[in-house]
Amino acid sequence: YRADVLHAIAATWIFLLLSLIVIRSERWQGLWFAGCAVAVAAFAPLVWSIEFRPWLPAPLAAYLNIKTGSLFPLFPWSAFMMAGAAFACWFVVARRRGMERPFMLQLAVLGIAWILVGHFSGPFRFLPEAASTDWWADPRTFLLRLGIVLLLLGACYSYGLVRTPKKSPLLDVSRESLFVYVSHLLLIYGPFWGGRSTAEVVGRTQGPVTCLVASVALAGLMVAGARAWGAIKQRKILLNGR
């Protein structure tokens, strides 16, 4: 049994929706989601060190850590969605008060701070020695990744204010996010090389330059594919409208 990214997304969405039903205040919703994100990210190493199958059915244990082969267990991946929900709640409050731009600037600054903390800080010592030290579950990795997301979010927001683009590769990709998601998984994990995937052929560990080149190439393919797929759908809409 394995929990993939869609399983993690669905389970976290259910939790978020139930929380919204119970907690009606946007301020308290944000605090609740932020607290949950901190707890999930902080205790992910401990959860990853525990074998849950003696106490839980394997399909449920698969949601908690990687010991059943899961790629995206709830610890720590659901913390990213919870953090996003928290910032979304606070963004709504800031926009209502006319503080949207300062809020986005603060997010970008916070992102820079978290990138630095995640990269330069030493191991966190509040967990038992038996806790997992896998970098996927390390709270510093969570801070680093979330900081990068916040910084990119602030940059995209600023770009939108300056340029107000109606057409751009970023908009094309955002409109075809499902196509991009499915396509990149097929390209990486599809068994197109004599029954082997690209990930298996290339190998899971490469140097920084190779990873950078591969990432840029994959991003370029996804942008081109998203634009082509969007054009096909638009053409079909126009033909059906005649």
The reply to whether 10 and 89 lie within a common domain is yes
Domain ends where: 102, 130, 164? 164
Of residues 173 and 73, which shows the higher confidence score? 73
What integer pLDDT is reported at residue 129 of this predicted model? Answer: 59
pLDDT in tens, 182-227: 898 888 888 888 888 888 888 877 888 988 999 999 999 999 999 9
Question: Amino acid identity of 21?
Answer: I
Question: Amino acid identity of 164?
Answer: T
What integer pLDDT is reported at residue 71 of this predicted model? Answer: 85
Could you tell me which of 116, 102, 175 has the C-alpha nearest to residue 148?
116
pLDDT in tens, 8-30: 999 999 999 999 999 998 889 99
The reply to whether 42 and 105 lie within a common domain is yes
The reply to whether 206 and 89 lie within a common domain is no
Of residues 40 and 242, which shows the higher confidence score? 40
Is 2 in contact with 69 (CB distance < 8 Å)?
yes
The reply to whether 208 and 94 lie within a common domain is no
- Report how far residue 82's alpha carbon sits from residue 71's, in angstroms, rounded to the nearest whole number: 19
pLDDT in tens, 158-187: 888 887 767 777 788 888 888 898 898 888
Q: What is the total count of domains within the chain?
A: 2
Kindly list the distances between the CA atom of residue 208 and the CA atoms of 205, 211, 212, 215, in Å, as whole numbers in the listed order.
10, 5, 6, 10
Long-range contacts for 39-43 (Cβ within 8 Å, ≥24 apart)? 40/74, 40/75, 40/76, 40/78, 40/79, 40/82, 41/76, 41/79, 41/139, 41/142, 41/143, 42/124, 42/126, 42/139, 43/75, 43/127
**Which H or E run includes 234?**
helix 208-240
Could you tell me which of 126, 23, 33, 123 has the C-alpha nearest to residue 78?
33
Question: Amino acid identity of 171?
Answer: L
- Look at residue 45 and give its three-state secondary structure: helix
Is 139 in contact with 42 (CB distance < 8 Å)?
yes
Is 155 in contact with 108 (CB distance < 8 Å)?
yes
Model's pTM, two decimal places? 0.79
DSSP 127: S
For tokens 């196509």, name the residue.
179
pLDDT above 90 for 78: yes
The reply to whether 127 and 193 lie within a common domain is no
**If pLDDT is split at 50, 70 and 90, which confidence band does 150 have?**
very high
Cis peptide, bond prior to residue 123, ω within 30 of zero: no
The reply to whether 88 and 182 lie within a common domain is no
For residues 225-231, give the mean pLDDT. Answer: 89
pLDDT in tens, 84-134: 999 999 999 999 999 999 999 999 999 999 999 998 887 776 666 555 567
Question: Amino acid identity of 182?
Answer: V
What is the extent of the structural domain holding 186? 167-242
The reply to whether 114 and 17 lie within a common domain is yes
Domain ends where: 132, 164, 196? 164
Domain ends where: 136, 164, 192? 164
Bridge partner list, 193:
196
- Report how far residue 169's alpha carbon sits from residue 88's, in angstroms, rounded to the nearest whole number: 24
The reply to whether 82 and 171 lie within a common domain is no
The reply to whether 96 and 78 lie within a common domain is yes
pLDDT above 90 for 237: no
The reply to whether 85 and 96 lie within a common domain is yes
The reply to whether 125 and 230 lie within a common domain is no
Q: Enter the tokens of residue 179.
A: 């196509």
Q: Which residues are CB-neighbours of 19 under 8 A, at least 6 positions away?
A: 29, 32, 33
For tokens 């330069």, name the residue.
120
The reply to whether 146 and 186 lie within a common domain is no
